[in-house]
Amino acid sequence: MFNFFKKKNNFYEVDGVRINRSQKRVKTISLQVKNGIATINCPLFISDNYLRTLIKKKKAWIKKKITKSKLTKNKGLIIKDGANFPIFGNNFRIKTIQSNCESINIKSNIINLSYESENRIKNLFIYWLKKKGNSYLSQRTEIISRKVKIDYKAIYVKSYRARWGCCNYKSEIFLNWKLILLPKHIIDYVIIHELSHIIEPNHSRSFWALVEKNDASFRAKKSWLKENGQEIIDFN
């Protein structure tokens, strides 16, 4: 049995699922689980009966997502001695060493981080990651651009909290430096995705057809990113 509880701003709760009826020109229905809360965003004209049916159909998926969200809550990526940290999808162990000379290098599966004072560790490490990200992503975008024969004007590597990349009307590509924490084949998918927007600016059938032309397995990569990317993109 489903119980509806009306709230302010067109919010409902249906058997633990939050319903957000948007007054904007939204034409699609989306279901997501974030921070242990399941939410459906939908247009005003969608009936309650339709939502009940959808929630019943997705009940097992919702339960699985909520459980996973609770298990990973507050886990996050941390920078400290002995912690594991991903680079290109591979886990490395951080080893911190106090020294008069600050440096970072990788040997085998160890990230050796030498620092002058403890309050410098995080900033030093992130600066190193951003520099590494800028170099790799710039070079990789150029390589893939030549391969798929899609030209771009410029590439900028930045820090984002809610996107992996974007492309503007000037054919400029913007990529999130945190991409270098992901496996390389996932990085390639994101680059192909953004390059494709130069030809197809929206997410139409033509856009996805172009992505598939240059990356036949993009669906699996897209799913992987949706399943595993949140912890990484939240890193700050």
105 and 46 within one domain: no
- Share the mean pLDDT of the chain: 88
pTM of the predicted protein model: 0.71
Mean pLDDT of 148-154: 97
pLDDT of residue 148: 97
The structural domain count of the chain equals 2
Question: Does 112 share its domain with 65?
Answer: no
96 & 170 share domain: yes
Tell me the per-residue pLDDT of 187-219, one tens digit each, with 9 for 90 and over.
999 999 999 999 999 999 999 999 999 999 999
The reply to whether 138 falls in a domain is: yes
Which pLDDT does position 127 carry in this prediction?
Answer: 94
**Does 224 lie in the same domain as 111?**
yes
> Could you tell me if 104 and 40 lie in one domain?
no
Please indicate, yes or no, whether residues 35 and 127 belong to a single structural domain of this protein: no
The pLDDT, as a whole number, for residue 71 is: 55
User: Alpha helix locations (H) across the chain?
Assistant: 48-57, 59-72, 121-148, 184-199, 205-214, 218-228, 230-233
The answer to whether residue 197 sits within a structural domain is yes
**What is the CATH number for 125?**
3.30.2010.10
DSSP 4-57: B---STTEEEETTEEEEEESSS--S-EEEEETTEEEEEEETTS-HHHHHHHHHH
- pLDDT tens column, 78-131: 899 999 999 999 999 999 999 989 999 999 899 999 999 988 999 999 999 999
Structural domain for 25, as ranges: 11-72
| Long-range contacts (CB closer than 8 Å, 24 or more residues apart) made by 46-49 | 46/21, 48/4, 48/14
Q: Based on the domain organization, do 68 and 88 belong to the same domain?
A: no
The answer on 98 and 32 residing in a single domain is no
**Model confidence over 164-180: pLDDT tens digits?**
999 999 999 999 999 99
On whether residue 5 sits in a domain, the answer given is no
> In terms of domains, do 96 and 211 share one?
yes
